Amino acid sequence: MDSAVLLDLLGNENRRRILRLLSRKPCYVTEISEYLGVSPKAVIDHLRKLEEAGLVESHTDDQRRKYFHISRNLRLEVSVSPYGFGVKSAYPANPSLDMNGRCRHLSLDTPAQADDDVGELAAAFDQLQTLENELSLAQRWVYGRVTEILDRLDDHLGVDADSRFHAEVLAAVATASGTTAEIVDAVEAPTDAVRGALNTLADRGLIEREGDEWRLA
């Protein structure tokens, strides 16, 4: 699902409270209505929208009472800074994904694959909770450092628009001097935009062109 649609959907406080309640246990409409302090009709409308988004499902018990529960795992991230705004949604990766092979800058002490022994499953869950907390802290640290470095680069760039993009182009030149085409491939952006950024950085005296290649001045 589109991240912007999810953001709009979760912008409603009552829908967030419904999901918080359903994360604890499946509930029927009357329970949710009493928890929220709103009419059953309003609850049904919220549940319908959550169902249409694929976040909630329902099942009927032996007494034909309809219970609602969260249907899947989902992570939604929103980042706001002077250098950009972004919304990303993510779903759980395949358990067989080798994170140690994928993360060049991060060493993960992941638990071994647990079998069905309750003690091993509990230990693995505890270890993964700790890892989740540490990753969240590391993410906050990285985000803060990125903002700090962009602030400092701004003093050198003096670029009014899209400082982050100019910083990405500058980083591409700094890490691997190359032709305009190679820089375009590195930052995965339109050629005209990259060419404009390179010219701006050259005007600021930060990079220079030698033959066909760009490099730091």
Average pLDDT by stretches of 10, the chain with 217 residues: 84 95 95 95 96 93 92 86 79 68 69 73 86 87 87 77 83 88 90 91 90 89
- Residue 113's pLDDT is 65
- Residue 156's pLDDT is 80
- Residue 153's pLDDT is 84
- Residue 11's pLDDT is 93
Give the domain ranges of the chain: 3-70, 158-216
CATH class of 3-70: mainly alpha
pTM of the model: 0.66
- What fold characterizes domain 158-216? Arc Repressor Mutant, subunit A (1.10.10)
- Residue 102's pLDDT is 67
Query: Same topology for domains 3-70 and 158-216, yes or no?
Result: yes
Q: HEC states along the chain?
A: CCHHHHHHHCCCHHHHHHHHHHCCCCECHHHHHHHHCCCHHHHHHHHHHHHHCCCEEEEECCCCCEEEEECCCCEEEEEEECCEEEEEEECCCCCCCCHHHHCCCCCCCCCCCCCCCHHHHHHHHHHHHHHHHHHHHHHHHHHHHHHHHHHHHHHHHCCCCCHHHHHHHHHHHHHCCEEHHHHHHHHCCCHHHHHHHHHHHHHCCCEEEECCEEEEC
